[in-house]
Structure 1
Amino acid sequence: MDVVGKVAVVTGSGRGLGRAYAEALAAAGAAVVVNDVDGDAAKQVVDAIESAGGRATAVVAPVGETAVADQLVATAVAEFGRLDVMVTNAGILRDRVLWKMSDEEFDDVIRVHLRGTFTCARAAAQRMREQGEGGRLILVASPAGQRGNFGQTNYAAAKAGIAAMARTWAMELAKAGILVNAVVPVAATEMTRTIPAFAPAIEEAERTGAPLPRWLRRDEGLGTVEDVASLIVFLASDASAEVTGQAIGIGGDRLALWSHPAEKSVAYSQDGWTAEGIAASWSSGIGAEPESYGIPAPQGR
């Protein structure tokens, strides 16, 4: 599958998943604007893409502000003539439980993940609408945003918002032919290496060069960053022309479609509900099978 002739911006692409996305898009034929706050890391990615015969340029700046989003789009147009794909991958972590999280820790994560996705997607949508040929917005969400995760109030809130924006923008941009989807990746990264159940297997694979074990790739849906990048290429390509408004999970051997929030069970009471009526019916009514929450703990081998 190729994306020859397309131009993509990938935010936060100096390392990890973002780098894998940028390199996969370039290998499939796209010209890529590499973005990162680390200039050396961004240059390494550009050099790697160019040494493999691809086309790339770098913008070193933190996402969040409108000026940076505009700069990313302007660079794509100035260097490669157009913009077809915006991948909003940039992010940071400031993990802390609710009662210890500072205003700054909350705001920093929201600014990069949520506001950064908004400003970059808006700038891209404006350009794509001007071009009149459609386009792709590929937003990076997370299992934490789908289910919640201990110590990640800021991150989970931002990622949940990103999935909600994908659904909203899919409606708003449909007439312009701009497809919008959220990707929910799981891969061996600096963050997942800290999970005790995963760490030994990841370290062993990195030490020996052997593939991650089957239980990890299949049962936990965790693989390499390159495993995830294939979904980015698909969503950037013409093969995904009918796919929009979706949250799609990928990791290891697993590809999954996440459900949208929906009413699970419904009960009715003529003339409305009193607090006492809700209490009396809860355990035998809509509360009989409550929803789970939180990312399930790894099961191991």
Structure 2
Amino acid sequence: MGELAGKSIVVTGAGAGLGQAYAMAIAAAGANVVVNDVNVAGATAVVDAIQAIGGRAVLSTDPVGTAEAAEAMTDLCVDRFGRIDGLVNNAGIHYVKPVWEESAQEVERVIQVNLLGSIHCAASAIRRMRAQGSGVVINIGSGSMRGNRPGMGAYGSSKAAVATLTRVWASELEGSGVHVYGISPNARTPMNLASGAAYLKKSLPEDIAPLAVFLLGDRAMPLNGRMIRLDDGALSLWAGGDYGPVLGNRAGWTSDSLAAALLPAVATDAA
């Protein structure tokens, strides 16, 4: 039995890059997966790949950003798999421009997808999770939420808002059985490579995916409300304005090694 056997998870933006890696790793861990992306060809290929390894997956092409689309994704998961145990709020877009070159349409689109999409998808999923008394939401942040990357003001601020939501939702849901975590990844994805991002290191999306699998499992509960950074193998916790000390650095993280590094750090914080 896999680590996530019997669970049903929605992954948005799962047609390529990190979303694809999350969906594949989650399926390999035994979960049923709703593969969501407006990139129909990419998402269909991910569904096919999951089914080829013996997993269960269903396609969703609803564009995140509206409450109606979020409800459709949640309903699809429940209708096909009987429940929704997890949501990975991965769908996102960005561009690199100084503020004086931005257009209203570009800014509004980033906020619509990255921020409102995360809110609507989480709201829909959490309503179901609260009713069943369990569930996990994972929000995806970014190193740019520190405000350290020129030209990424709109994108970085949308991700900083997602980090805030992670803490707020975790607090609101305390005692409900629903937990909220954040991942701040740095990986060589098609989106980042297309922007010519010079800060990217050698990490691939598959290097980040084990963290999502770990957070969707029961052992991660003490990390409720925390944003976790994984950057070229270096693991750390978001400390508000920046990341905390590196808790470990390795090429191949697993759920066991993530638990061993993260859980003692959280216990120390709480002491």
- Place the TM-score, normalised by the shorter chain, in its bin: 0.7 to 0.9
Amino acid at match of 2:197: I
Q: CA deviation at 1:52?
A: 0.4
Q: Distance in 2 between the 1:179 and 1:147 partners?
A: 27
Contact in 2 for aligned 1:170/1:244 (Cα 8 Å): yes
**CA deviations over 1:96-139 (Å, ceiling 9, x no partner):** 2101111111100000000000000000110101112x110100
Structure 1 regions of 5+ residues with no counterpart?
A: 199-215, 217-221, 263-301
Amino acid at match of 2:25: A
Q: Distance in 2 between the 1:13 and 1:259 partners?
A: 28
Contact in 2 for aligned 1:8/1:76 (Cα 8 Å): yes
Q: Distance in 1 between the 2:101 and 2:223 partners?
A: 41
Contact in 1 for aligned 2:147/2:153 (Cα 8 Å): no
Q: SS where residue 203 of structure 2 aligns? A: coil
Residue 147 of structure 1 corresponds to 147
Q: Distance in 2 between the 1:180 and 1:196 partners?
A: 31
Q: Distance in 2 between the 1:187 and 1:111 partners?
A: 23
**Which structure has the larger Rg over C-alpha atoms?**
1
Q: Say whether 1:105 aligns with 2:85.
A: no
Q: CA deviation at 1:195?
A: 3.3
CA distance 1:72–1:224, change in 2 (3 Å): same
CA distance 1:101–1:72, change in 2 (3 Å): same
Contact in 1 for aligned 2:12/2:88 (Cα 8 Å): yes
Residue 299 of structure 1 corresponds to none
Q: Distance in 2 between the 1:42 and 1:142 partners?
A: 23
Contact in 1 for aligned 2:17/2:189 (Cα 8 Å): yes
Q: Distance in 1 between the 2:31 and 2:147 partners?
A: 34
Residue 286 of structure 1 corresponds to none
**CA deviations over 1:64-98 (Å, ceiling 9, x no partner):** 00000001100000000000100000011233210
Q: Say whether 1:225 aligns with 2:205.
A: yes
Q: CA deviation at 1:241?
A: 2.2
Q: Distance in 2 between the 1:197 and 1:35 partners?
A: 28
Contact in 2 for aligned 1:224/1:251 (Cα 8 Å): no
Residue 184 of structure 1 corresponds to 184
CA distance 1:197–1:31, change in 2 (3 Å): closer
Q: CA deviation at 1:261?
A: 4.1
Contact in 1 for aligned 2:146/2:241 (Cα 8 Å): no
Residue 204 of structure 1 corresponds to none
Q: SS where residue 6 of structure 2 aligns? A: coil
Q: Say whether 1:174 aligns with 2:174.
A: yes
Q: Distance in 2 between the 1:192 and 1:93 partners?
A: 9
Q: Distance in 2 between the 1:59 and 1:10 partners?
A: 10
Residue 202 of structure 1 corresponds to none
Residue 130 of structure 1 corresponds to 131
Q: SS where residue 10 of structure 2 aligns? A: strand
Residue identity over aligned pairs, in percent, reads: 41
Residue 218 of structure 2 corresponds to 238
Q: Distance in 2 between the 1:141 and 1:231 partners?
A: 13
Residue 253 of structure 1 corresponds to 233
Q: SS where residue 29 of structure 1 aligns? A: coil
Q: SS where residue 260 of structure 1 aligns? A: coil
Contact in 1 for aligned 2:227/2:237 (Cα 8 Å): yes
Q: CA deviation at 1:196?
A: 4.5
Q: Distance in 2 between the 1:192 and 1:107 partners?
A: 20
Contact in 2 for aligned 1:61/1:68 (Cα 8 Å): yes
Amino acid at match of 1:140: I
Q: Distance in 2 between the 1:13 and 1:140 partners?
A: 13
Structure 2 regions of 5+ residues with no counterpart?
A: 243-271
For these two proteins, the number of residue pairs brought into alignment is 239
Residue 50 of structure 1 corresponds to 51
Q: Distance in 2 between the 1:246 and 1:181 partners?
A: 5
Contact in 1 for aligned 2:50/2:57 (Cα 8 Å): yes
Q: Distance in 2 between the 1:196 and 1:119 partners?
A: 32
Residue 24 of structure 1 corresponds to 25
